[in-house]
């Protein structure tokens, strides 16, 4: 059994100086450290579990001292999500943090219950003793003043999320989340719209009904591909309403497209959603890139699919597209697509195909192609076809309407791309450019 606990021994700063004696009305010196040591002796927590429990204790103390000094802290971005600490659910939230630390379920549950049965801090009703105990435990390890939430250490932001009530919480645009290990977190029906969640680990997390719309989930991990697919399908993004749109303006100033919004492929037709390995911007237009180097651009108006499709082909060649074409495009014929490609300094390769076998062979030989698809729900639409697997019964496409790269069932493509004599547009290999 290890010796007595030093409060600073949580990997965030130098060892604390010996605590100063407290007044007769306060908690005795070392009260919190002794209480945490008692919990360690009474439970079977391993080293990482003990580390997690000390970090939980530190976060509790830090919040108490900061909110006492600045009652408006809970109004700041990020802080407004994690404050106040969810005291009613401490046992379950701490249990989840201990599971994340690798503790067995039974050990995590018993340790969390023991923490709640005998909390390390004096009763909050004794304000002086409570604050004194918090300051002693902190020992200057974290800044005495409030920082921007995203400036806090990773472990602090992580524990803050576990300690908060995220059920149904509006977390839209919350900073400081990228790359966090959020395994076992409970965030059912929370709204993470627009958040940067790249690299986050949501394995074993309860994210049922959680809204990830317009969130960056590049390299985010879920329990399996099926969960990632479900998250992506449930949170399809749709194009903004742009100057090139046919639109309706209501008396209250609200604007909507006369063409509404829809989805191009049904959920049961989508087999896989390709995570983006990189995201960036060109003239304020978001672009992404898959792990195998395919560029993804979302159309910037309801019927601006052709401009986004040619932009993807152009970017694939390492050339620049015209952002204004995306902003102002409202439908187009093939000649307009050819103009996009030629203005970028490239040449068009136009081909007619009369069967799915011919289409598959042409794309395999010449590379990705813009093709037109049609169904009664969406009308005509332009997408990029990257590959056709005839034996596997699937196809890889990039759909500019939702701004994603997906693998779909082959019959989903076949029923929207009729033969014979369909024309497809590609770019001539640069070795063949005049």
Residues 197 and 228 grouped into a single domain: yes
Residues 140 and 198 grouped into a single domain: no
The answer as to whether 240 is a domain residue is no
Residues 218 and 362 grouped into a single domain: no
b/e burial code for range 354-381 (CB count within 10 A of at least 16 → b): eebebbbebbeebbbbbbbbeeeebeeb
- How many helices and strands (H and E) does the chain possess? 13, 12
What's the half-sphere exposure (Cβ side, CA atoms, 13 Å) at 180? Answer: 26
What's the half-sphere exposure (Cβ side, CA atoms, 13 Å) at 295? Answer: 23
The structure tokens 């990257």 sit at 386
Residues 256 and 212 grouped into a single domain: no
Where is the domain boundary, 109, 142, 164?
A: 164
Residues 186 and 263 grouped into a single domain: no
CATH of the domain at 396: 3.90.70.10
The answer as to whether 301 is a domain residue is yes
Omega of the bond leading into 62 within 30 degrees of 0 (cis): no
Omega of the bond leading into 84 within 30 degrees of 0 (cis): yes
The answer as to whether 151 is a domain residue is yes
Where is the domain boundary, 180, 200, 235?
A: 235
DSSP state string for 28-79: PTTHHHHHHHHHHHHS---HHHHHHHHHHHHHHHHHHHHHHH-TTGGGSTTH
Give the tens place of pLDDT for each residue, 97-138. Answer: 999 999 999 999 999 999 999 989 877 667 888 888 888 898
Residues 196 and 330 grouped into a single domain: no
Query: H-helix or E-strand containing 394?
Result: strand 394-399
409/364 Cα distance (integer angstroms)? 18
Q: How many CB atoms lie within 10 A of CB 89?
A: 17
Residues 258 and 312 grouped into a single domain: yes
Measured at the CA of 279, the angle between CA 276 and CA 281, to 5 degrees, comes to 145
Residues 302 and 374 grouped into a single domain: yes
188/131 Cα distance (integer angstroms)? 33
One digit per residue, the tens of pLDDT, for the chain of length 434 reads: 333 334 434 433 333 333 333 333 344 557 799 999 999 999 999 999 999 999 999 999 999 999 877 888 999 999 999 999 999 999 999 999 999 999 999 999 999 999 999 989 877 667 888 888 888 898 877 888 889 999 999 999 999 999 999 999 999 999 999 999 999 999 999 999 889 998 999 999 999 889 887 788 878 888 877 677 777 776 677 787 766 666 656 566 555 555 455 678 988 899 988 888 888 889 989 899 998 999 999 999 888 899 999 999 999 999 999 999 988 887 767 788 899 999 999 999 999 999 999 999 999 999 999 999 987 777 889 999 999 999 999 999 999 999 999 999 999 999 999 776 688 999 988 765 55
* Of 263, 203, 278, 201, nearest in space to 233 by CA: 263
Residues 148 and 182 grouped into a single domain: no
Residues 157 and 170 grouped into a single domain: no
The answer as to whether 18 is a domain residue is yes
The count of domains in the chain is: 3
pTM of the model: 0.65
Contacts 24+ apart (CB under 8 A), 207-210: 207/231
Residue 305, C-beta contacts closer than 8 angstroms, at least 6 positions apart: 299, 381, 382, 383, 400, 401
Instruction: Look at the alpha carbons of 325, 326, 331, 335 in this order and tell me if their dihedral is positive or negative.
Output: positive
The answer as to whether 241 is a domain residue is no
b/e burial code for range 191-202 (CB count within 10 A of at least 16 → b): bbbebbbbbbbb
Domain that holds residue 98: 1-164
The answer as to whether 125 is a domain residue is yes
Where is the domain boundary, 108, 137, 164?
A: 164
Residues 252 and 230 grouped into a single domain: no
The answer as to whether 242 is a domain residue is no
Give the tens place of pLDDT for each residue, 285-311. Answer: 989 999 899 999 999 988 889 999 999
The answer as to whether 393 is a domain residue is yes
Residues 147 and 32 grouped into a single domain: yes
């Amino acid at each position: 059994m290890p010796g007595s606990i030093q409060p600073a021994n949580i990997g965030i700063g130098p060892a604390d100086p010996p605590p100063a004696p407290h007044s007769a009305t306060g908690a005795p010196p070392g009260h919190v450290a002794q209480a945490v040591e008692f919990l360690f002796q009474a439970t079977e927590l391993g080293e990482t579990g003990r580390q997690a429990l000390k970090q939980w204790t530190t976060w509790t103390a830090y919040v108490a001292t900061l909110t006492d000094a600045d009652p408006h802290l809970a109004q700041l971005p990020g802080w407004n999500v994690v404050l106040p600490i969810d005291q009613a659910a401490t046992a379950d939230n701490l249990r989840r943090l201990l599971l994340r630390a690798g503790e067995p379920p039974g050990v995590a549950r018993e340790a969390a219950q023991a923490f709640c049965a005998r909390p390390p801090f004096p009763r909050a009703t004794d304000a002086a003793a409570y604050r004194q105990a918090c300051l002693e435990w902190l020992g200057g390890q974290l800044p005495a003043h409030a920082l921007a939430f995203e400036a806090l250490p990773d472990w602090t932001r992580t524990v803050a999320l576990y300690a908060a009530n995220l059920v149904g919480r509006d977390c839209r645009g919350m900073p400081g989340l990228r790359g966090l290990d959020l395994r076992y977190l409970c965030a059912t029906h929370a709204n993470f719209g627009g958040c940067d969640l790249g690299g986050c680990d949501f394995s074993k997390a309860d994210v049922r009904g959680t809204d990830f719309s317009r969130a960056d989930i590049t390299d985010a991990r879920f329990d399996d591909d099926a969960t990632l697919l479900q998250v992506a399908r449930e949170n399809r993004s749709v194009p903004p309403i742009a100057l090139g749109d046919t639109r309706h303006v209501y008396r209250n100033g609200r604007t909507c497209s006369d063409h509404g919004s829809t989805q191009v492929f049904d959920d049961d037709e989508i087999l896989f959603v390709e995570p983006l390995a990189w995201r960036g911007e060109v003239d304020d237009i978001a672009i992404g890139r898959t792990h195998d180097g395919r560029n993804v651009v979302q159309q910037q108006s309801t019927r601006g699919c052709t401009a986004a499709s040619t932009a993807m082909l152009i970017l694939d060649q390492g050339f620049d597209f015209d952002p204004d074409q995306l902003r102002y495009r409202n439908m187009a014929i093939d000649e307009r697509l050819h103009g996009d490609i030629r203005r970028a300094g490239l040449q068009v390769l136009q081909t007619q195909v009369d069967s799915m076998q011919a289409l598959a062979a042409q794309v395999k030989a010449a590379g990705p192609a813009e093709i037109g698809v049609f169904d009664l729900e969406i009308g005509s639409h332009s997408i990029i076809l990257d590959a056709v697997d005839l034996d596997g019964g699937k196809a890889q496409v990039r759909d500019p309407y939702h701004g994603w790269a997906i693998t779909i069932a082959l019959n989903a493509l076949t029923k929207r791309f009729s033969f014979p004599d369909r024309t497809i547009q590609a770019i001539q290999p640069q070795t063949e450019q005049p």
